[in-house]
Chain A
Amino acid sequence: AQTVTQSQPEMSVQEAETVTLSCTYDTSENNYYLFWYKQPPSRQMILVIRQEAYKQQNATENRFSVNFQKAAKSFSLKISDSQLGDTAMYFCAFMGRWNTGNQFYFGTGTSLTVIP
């Protein structure tokens, strides 16, 4: 079974500073996708960023970027210029592609608090 590990249950960062959330995963597959989702107090799950495993270039979306290390099976999220609205639970997710269909696995989440 695939596993996704987020080793930081809680983190905090000062407004305007940079923070990195860690995520590691375990898989024997070569073709997969990785995602970061954000869940603010409203509980809506929002896609932050996605990364295709076959792409070496790290994905970026405005203030959000990833450090994808395929050999190390690491997929960290960097948030630059943190804003109060970034306060949320962040989930790392792995999607593998099998003959039976696509399977998603989520990490246990990191609760991020941005301090004014």
Chain B
Amino acid sequence: SQKIEQNSEALNIQEGKTATLTCNYTNYSPAYLQWYRQDPGRGPVFLLLIRENEKEKRKERLKVTFDTTLKQSLFHITASQPADSATYLCALGLSDMRFGAGTRLTVKP
């Protein structure tokens, strides 16, 4: 069966450092992979979409990589800030989008 694993349930880092979150998947060949941010008690908010033919995508302090051979995506937040503290979800597919369980990131001042 299809599986999406976000390796760390929680990640704590110091302000200013780079946060790196991992998303691995099995039994799936998605054409699209997305990352969302979810704050407690709120719906997810879209951050980035990357296509299978793209290796890397950037948006301000965010960077996403997509390795279809390794079946893995890495999500980086550079120069992290306490305001970046949230749960980050990876999602695969489009019309039948499936989500990972998320990684709860805490950025300490």
Is A bound to B?
no
- Enumerate chain A interface residues (CB-CB to B < 8 A): none
- Enumerate chain B interface residues (CB-CB to A < 8 A): none
